[in-house]
Amino acid sequence: MKSRWSEPEARRAVAHYAERGIGEDLALRTYSARLLGGDRRLVLHGGGNTSVKTCMRDVYGDEVRVLCVKGSGWDLATIEPEGHPAVRLEPLLRLRRLDKLTDEEMVSVQRANLLDSAAPNPSVETLLHAFLPQKFVDHTHSVAAVAIADQPEVEEICRRIYGERLACVPYVLPGFGLAKAAASAFEANPEVEGLMLIKHGIFTFGATAREAYERMIELVTLAESYIAVTARPRPKPREQSRHPATDEAELLAALRGMLGSAAQGKWPRHWIMDCRKGPDIEAFLGDDKLAACALRGPATPDHIIRLKGKPLLLLPARCGELKAWAEKAALAIGDYAAEYENYFQRQNARAGGRKKALDPMPRIILVPGVGIVGIGKDKADAKIVADLFEAAMASMIGAEAIGRYEPIGEDDQFDMEYWSLEQAKLGKSAPKRLGGHVVVVTGGAGAIGAATATAFAREGAEIALLDIDSQAVARIAKSLGGSALAVSCDVTDQGSVASAFTKVVECFGGVDILVSNAGTALTGMIAEISDEILRRSFEINFFAHQNVAREAVAIMKRQKLGGVLLFNVSKQAVNPGPNFGAYGTSKAALLALVRQYALEHGADGIRANALNPDRIRSGLLTPQMIQQRAATRGVSPSEYMAGNLLREEVTAQDVADAFVAQALMQKTTGDVMTVDGGNVAAMMR
Ligand code: ZN
């Protein structure tokens, strides 16, 4: 590992932040915190923390000594000076003399001594930073350092690697106790450059930002070299069965359904997945000893709130044996949940019986032959889970190569998992109505498709946009931000539809809601129209809907989580207009299709509903068309667009809101909803 410190860049950071009135100490703190945060082998997703001791003026103009320490919610990779809120140092130091301090008291003292009361909560490791006398303190859960920290012989190994340069600190739950233990370890040998926190991670410190940072790089590099030199050769992994991509999607959807049934109605049923594979993962899963290692516990205690104490290890999945595998997997998920509930009962009794159980679902599922599957409440969450496990995997491989991977035991796992200050890191935002649901929108690059995607994203759903215009759909997905997936797809081509749905399932784990929206409006008098035009209209307005609905239903049945099929039908299905025969007849057939799905799949919990919008500005109703039609009727374009009972133009947003409403109406199927501002001729009867 190389130092990425650049003196010119450090100077630029100082000059840049000086313009905002930020002092040099905090500017350099920000610069080197970002260097640490930018390396995935050191820091991932809000892990690690950094600090600097400096002087600032308070509101009275008095100069006070402060500890600027990482605030909760900030990520080192993107941290700004505000991410290191200033806490008065003296009151923190006085705490050292106390024998006992509850977590609540600790948080309260830290908050009460912030110079800015609106700043985020200082890190749970604030006191550890405060009690070390050095100006700059850096802490990471580096992959290599953790491989050393999780050894039964950690102290002996550290002596071998570092001599007197580093002191070991016994495992203690982060907070007041750990801060005192770390300070004592340091004071026993004040010449040390860093601390190895057993079964946790590594601290380095120095008089300057550069010294603390470069010590981190050097001490971690020494750990890496030790692992490389000492590593025993790994046994050849057992033969892996290669899994064709189509099977993988089937397997994920089945797995997602199993999580839903294991929830027993008590816990969330809908989860999002992030599946990772590759040679390293395959080698890990192909080695029984390594895979079993993961069951011993988390590489660093910080992981436990996202990964739980251990993953669920399933049997290898082989091509063509999915059914038998799925039966065993379903039992294994049920067992995992039951075992977690037992763990909670047992540990909660030990810890005083005051904790509230968290859901018992696994967050990492290991499937030899396929990969590792991260499970989250949304895609971002599932990705974080998979990233953390990949880092943990690297630590486990290192640890087993040089000795034995031995993380914290069950009692410590429980104390960390149910520590209120850890749970607070996950935030307490109320779950959104469609959180954990995957929505596929066809015609995703059009006005209605884009508005619909936005409306579902606002409800917390994961979005997959399908469109034949691959560039436009990619733009819309990007504009949604987050994890929206753009898939180029010709909905009239069954092969293209099948591969698009495979991509969606591989990305999110399944499909819950289909908004079948792509359409075309071809014109011509019905007696004069060519067969080619008429058939083309049926291809897009009827068969394409059938193509996507069939794929969606196949996935929904595999998941056994129910589902919703929503179709953009249009008022033409019930209220034909002249010259629109090709459109109206195909849409009338589509309305019959919707009812057929409602009829045949109600028993699967799959609802099918139709929306009848009219006069929406879109690719099917362009400004020129509006001009022409308004002129024919002798009215202005805006009068034409508001030509309904409510006298208001109907927009793509109105259509999008109606789709969301239909998705949420749990007891409604076979429904036709109008979104046309009121039109007696188009009313359902
Ligand atoms: Zn830590």
Provide DSSP, 603-638: GGTEEEEEEEE-S--BTTB-HHHHHHHHHHHTS-HH
Q: Are residues 630 and 667 in the same domain?
A: no
Q: What percent of the chain has pLDDT over 90?
A: 85
CATH number for the domain spanning 89: value is 3.40.225.10
* Ligand 1 centroid, distance to 382 Cα (angstroms): 21
Residues 446 and 593 in one domain: yes
C-alpha to C-alpha distance for 173 and 369, rounded to whole angstroms: 37
Strands 606-613, 672-675: pairing is parallel
| Number of folded domains that form the chain | 4
Report the distance separating Cα 277 and Cα 284, nearest Å: 10
Is 202 a residue whose pLDDT tops 90?
yes
Q: Are 161 and 188 in contact (CB under 8 A)?
A: no
Interval between CA 615 and ligand 1 midpoint (Å): 58
Q: Which of 340, 343, 405, 583 is catalytic?
A: 583
User: pLDDT over 70 for what percent of the chain?
Assistant: 98
Q: Where are the alpha helices (DSSP H) in 425-561?
A: 447-458, 470-480, 494-508, 531-538, 544-559
Whole-number average pLDDT of the chain: 93
CA–CA gap between residue 89 and residue 114 (Å, rounded): 10
Asked if 100 and 214 sit in the same domain, the reply is: yes
Q: Is residue 583 part of a domain?
A: yes
Confidence of residue 41 (pLDDT cuts 50, 70, 90): very high
- Centre of ligand 1 from the C-alpha of residue 302, in Å: 6
> Is 385 a member of any domain?
yes
- Cβ-count burial of 596 within 10 angstroms (0-12 exposed, 13-18 middle, 19+ buried)? middle
Q: Are residues 458 and 556 in the same domain?
A: yes
Residue 683 domain-assigned (yes or no): no
Q: Is the pLDDT of residue 319 over 90?
A: no
Q: With bands split at pLDDT 50, 70 and 90, how would you rate the model's confidence at 685?
A: confident
Q: Which domain holds residue 630?
A: 619-649
Question: Are both 388 and 456 inside the same structural domain?
Answer: no
How many whole angstroms from 173 Cα to the centroid of ligand 1?
10
Choice among 215-224, 340-349, 627-636 with the minimum mean pLDDT: 627-636
- The verdict on 407 and 371 lying in the same domain is yes
572 plus 462 within the same structural domain: yes
Last residue of a domain, one of 426, 460, 494: 426
354 or 552: whose pLDDT is higher? 552
* pLDDT given at position 353: 86
Residues 588 and 633 occupy one common structural domain: no
pLDDT band at 238 (very low <50, low <70, confident <90, very high): low
The Å distance, Cα 139 to ligand 1 centre, comes to 7
Range with the poorest average pLDDT among 232-236, 379-383, 580-584 = 232-236
Picking from 426, 461, 483, the residue at the C-terminal end of a domain is: 426
**Do 214 and 254 reside in the same domain of the chain?**
no
Do the strands 364-367 and 371-376 form a parallel or antiparallel pair, or are they unpaired? Answer: antiparallel
What is the 141 CA–ligand 1 centroid distance (Å)? 6
> pLDDT band for position 317 (50/70/90)?
confident
More confident residue, 266 or 339: 339
Buried b (16+ CB within 10 A) or exposed e, 502-524: bbbbbbbbbbbbbbbbbbbbbeb
CATH of the domain at 287: 3.40.225
Q: How far is CA 204 from the centre of its chain?
A: 31
Say if residue 594's pLDDT is above 70. Answer: yes
pLDDT digits (tens, 9 = 90+) for 483-505: 999 999 999 999 999 999 999 99
Query: Residues 209, 76: one domain?
Result: yes
Residue 661 and residue 639 in one domain: no
**pLDDT score, position 419:** 86
* The pLDDT value given to residue 291: 84
Q: How far is the CA of 108 from the centre of ligand 1 (A)?
A: 21
CATH code for position 592? 3.40.50.720
Distance in angstroms (rounded) separating the CA atoms of residues 199 and 153:
11
- Tell me if 237 is assigned to some domain: no
For residue 474, report the phi and psi dihedrals to the nearest 5 degrees. Answer: -65, -40
Per residue in 15-25, is it b (16+ CB within 10 Å) or e — as a string?
A: eebeeeebbbb
Q: Ligand 1: distance of its center to the CA of 49 in Å?
A: 7
d(CA 193, ligand 1 centre) in Å: 17
Q: Which of 377, 394, 426 is the last residue of a domain?
A: 426
pLDDT recorded at residue 245: 42
Q: Is 36 within the bounds of a domain?
A: yes
Q: Is 31 a catalytic residue?
A: no
Neighbours of 434 (CB within 10 A): 22
Element (H, E) at 513: strand 513-516
Ligand 1 centroid, distance to 47 Cα (angstroms): 7
In a domain, 209, yes or no: yes
Which has the higher per-residue pLDDT, 625 or 470?
470
Q: Are residues 396 and 520 in the same domain?
A: no
Give the Å distance between the CA of 430 and the centre of ligand 1. Answer: 27
Report the C-alpha gap between 153 and 151 in whole angstroms. 5
Does the predicted model carry a pTM greater than 0.85? yes
Please check whether residue 235 lies inside any domain of the structure. Answer: no
Distance from residue 149's CA to the centre of ligand 1 (Å): 12
- Rounded Cα distance between 473 and 200, Å, is 44
pLDDT digits (tens, 9 = 90+) for 117-170: 999 999 999 999 999 999 999 999 999 999 999 999 999 999 999 999 999 999
Reading across the β-sheet that carries 194-197, which strands appear in turn? 86-88, 63-69, 49-57, 136-140, 201-206, 194-197, 166-169
Q: Is residue 604 part of a domain?
A: yes
337 CA distance to ligand 1 middle (Å): 28
What's the gap in Å between 369 CA and the centre of ligand 1? 33
Banded pLDDT at 246 (limits 50, 70, 90)? very low
Determine the distance separating the centroid of ligand 1 and the alpha carbon of 219, expressed in angstroms.
Answer: 16
